Amino acid sequence: MSRTLISALPLLLIACSGEGANSQTTTMADKPFKTSVIADFDSPWAMTFLPDGRALVTEKAGDMILFDPKNGTKIPVAGIPKVDSAGQGALMDVVLSPRFAKDKAVYFSFSEERDGLKGVALAKGAFNQASDGTTKLDGVTILFRASPYVDGDGHYSGRIAFSPDGKYLFFTNGERQKFDPAQDPKSTLGKVLRLNLDGTPAANNPLSAKGFNPAIWSYGHRNLLGIAFDKDGRLWEQEMGPKGGDEVNLIKPGLNYGYPKVSNGSHYDGRDIPDHAPGDGFEAPKVWWNPVISPGGLLYYSGDLFPQWKNSLFIGGLSSQSLVRVKLNGEKAEKADQWDMGARIREVEQGPDGALWLLEDGGKSQGRMLKLTPAG
Ligand SMILES: [Ca+2]
Ligand SMILES: [Ca+2]
């Protein structure tokens, strides 16, 4: 025990701020929550809580950090493969195995370059903290790679969610700013994928009998930066659409969500895209935004700390510098709140006590971790 304490001391000294005396708390009159600044990171991308209340945080350049909100300790997690973080590239999502208590598996996604081309990969490793505090992922293996890898640095997506029964892993692949691959049955780009936990395509995916890539669950997507299951097992997705076309979709197996053939937005270069229309064969979004919010992360809220927000989706707004709430009612969804946060919000997470945790999308000292609790 004493060895752990001694080795953690230097890390404590470099940590920016804990949740105690150093926290800055501000209460905005127009917000039903108070915002506490917990820590600073360098372009953080995603976070997830461990069962003991500590969190794993990814940073864009390729670092994974074990963070303890109780005392501000940051410990680097070794074993992460080389990340190509140019442009929108990053060490991306991090999610615990549904059987983490037994298998210690941490699933994560990242962009990489291979043979001059780039794509998003899914990997896992086993969480291992030694008695001296040193932390690593053991046996890191690449489970899945988007196909094909292409040039450019945009729209990787790379979000991960497990089905409520823990049997399947859903993984998002963005269309890499190449448009048409979202409709290409052979490509995994612009798709929601359903995989087994070892990264192989799940059996009986809805389009494999029609000659689609066997991993595909739904298609016609653009840049899918959040997926989350609700309490009834519905899969919700948000995606950064074209100009005026950011979306929340209810994902159903085998459906075509339209991009780039239809969208309620239009191309950023000004070209029109036909809007969704009844009977056009494409699944329309449940909610869309014009002007856009530029959605980052997505959280389905199930906590008790904000009982009025149960059964809501929370979305981090990048260009809109906001936190967005969408209220769910069965298969229906409607815009509820949009709070100005004064910074690009990349990630939304629910803490063990039901607090909302946010990560800002900025470099050092501008990539803060925020904790939202009731205004009281
Ligand atoms: Ca997360
Ligand atoms: Ca349109």
pLDDT digits (tens, 9 = 90+) for 123-177: 999 999 999 999 999 999 999 999 999 999 999 999 999 999 999 999 999 999 9
pLDDT at 195 exceeding the cut of 70: yes
- Gap from CA of 171 to ligand 1 centroid (Å): 13
Classify residue 3 by burial, with Cβ atoms within 10 Å: 0-12, 13-18, 19+: exposed
Tell me what pLDDT residue 13 has.
34
32 pLDDT band (50/70/90 cuts)? very high
181 upstream amide cis, omega within 30 of 0: no
Write down the catalytic residue from 155, 221, 267, 276. 155
Give the number of whichever ligand sits closest to the CA of residue 227.
1
Q: Distance from the CA of 296 to the center of ligand 2, in angstroms?
A: 22
CA–centroid distance, 55 to ligand 1, in Å, is 10
Evaluate if residue 14 carries a pLDDT over 60: no
Indicate which ligand has the atom closest to the C-alpha of 280. Answer: 2
In which region does residue 354 sit, left (phi positive, over 0), alpha (psi from -120 to 50) or beta (all else)?
left
| Identity of the amino acid at 109 | S
Distance 372 CA to ligand 1 centre (A): 15
Domain boundaries, the chain: 2-374
Instruction: Record the pTM.
Output: 0.92
HSE-CB of 148 using CA atoms within 13 angstroms: 11
Q: Ligand 2 mean position to 265 CA, how many Å?
A: 4
Q: Which tokens in the block code for residue 130?
A: 């030694």
| Active-site annotation holds for 267 | no
As assigned by CATH, the class of the 2-374 domain is mainly beta
First vs last C-alpha separation in the chain = 38
The ligand placed nearest to the CA atom of residue 356 is 1
Q: pLDDT digits over 328-359, tens only?
A: 999 999 999 999 999 999 999 999 999 999 99
